[in-house]
Amino acid sequence: MPPSQTLFDLTGKTLVVIGGASGIGEAVTLGCARHGARVACLDINERAARRVSDEATREGYICEAGALDIRDAQAVERSLDDIAARHGLDVAICTPSINVRKPILRYTDEEVARVLDVNFKGNFNVLRAAGRIMTKQKKGSIILFSSVRSMMVEPGQSVYAATKAGIVQLVKTAAAEFGPHNVRVNAIGPGVIETPLTAPIKANKDWYEAYAAKSVFNRWGRPDELIGPAVFLASDAASYVTGTILFADGGWLAADGRFTPPGM
């Protein structure tokens, strides 16, 4: 066991962040690099991934970039196999998701397929590819991104919420299957975070303020506030943590946020 002052140090670890070119993924990429990891920033937008990689490199950290669409299972396997062959693979973090906000009765087949392909099938592709590498090498940590929507919903969140709940069950099953091979699998469950995915909400003042009020801090979260949970689950500090979801939601799930009784 490492000394307590180095528990969160990622020096010597090779870490892949998929969806690392924007929002939470970008913050996690830079945060993990700054904690000492060799990071591969992969994203469907290769130009944006290279921008993030260049920023980390300018700061003196080790970061490479590449293109990856998690909907392509073979591409996921090739990409992770290549990184593992060159540097090893200690941690795989998958952040991408999409949402189509509309009532169930107005959902088209194409929209259902699109959300499922990215949020569920894409995450499964990453989980399976990383799991094959890590179970063989007998070590590793896999981190998927779920959401508070895995626990509670609102109108218009049917398919998105279902995929986020599904990710939790994927994590639990993979933890049970990969655990005997010393591989940990966990999820992070953000609350409402200011990212490109939530930009339509931010553009609506009433909607934005209603979500802010749901947090006990009365504000939205920032992408950089997901760095800590990711570093923790990637590091030796979480050596006995697997099969769970770590919520970083500003108290969203802890309090209903609707009314403060008189005298409080």
pLDDT score, position 4: 64
| Intervals of the chain under pLDDT 70 | 1-4, 257-261, 263-264
- Mark whether 208 is an active-site residue: no
Question: Where on the phi/psi map is residue 145: left (φ > 0), alpha (ψ -120 to 50), or beta?
Answer: beta
Residue type, 179: G
What dihedral do alpha carbons 178, 151, 27, 132 form, nearest 10°? 20
pLDDT score, position 260: 65
Q: Is 39:16 a contact under the CB 8 Å cutoff?
A: yes
Domains and CATH numbers, the chain: 7-248 (3.40.50.720)
Q: CA–CA separation, 201 vs 218, rounded Å?
A: 16
pLDDT score, position 96: 96
Q: CA–CA separation, 250 vs 235, rounded Å?
A: 23
What would the two tokens of residue 186 be? 């966990």
pTM: predicted TM-score of the whole model, two decimal places: 0.95
Q: Which residue in the list 107, 160, 208, 211 is annotated as catalytic? A: 160
What dihedral do alpha carbons 41, 117, 192, 54 form, nearest 10°? 10
pLDDT score, position 173: 98
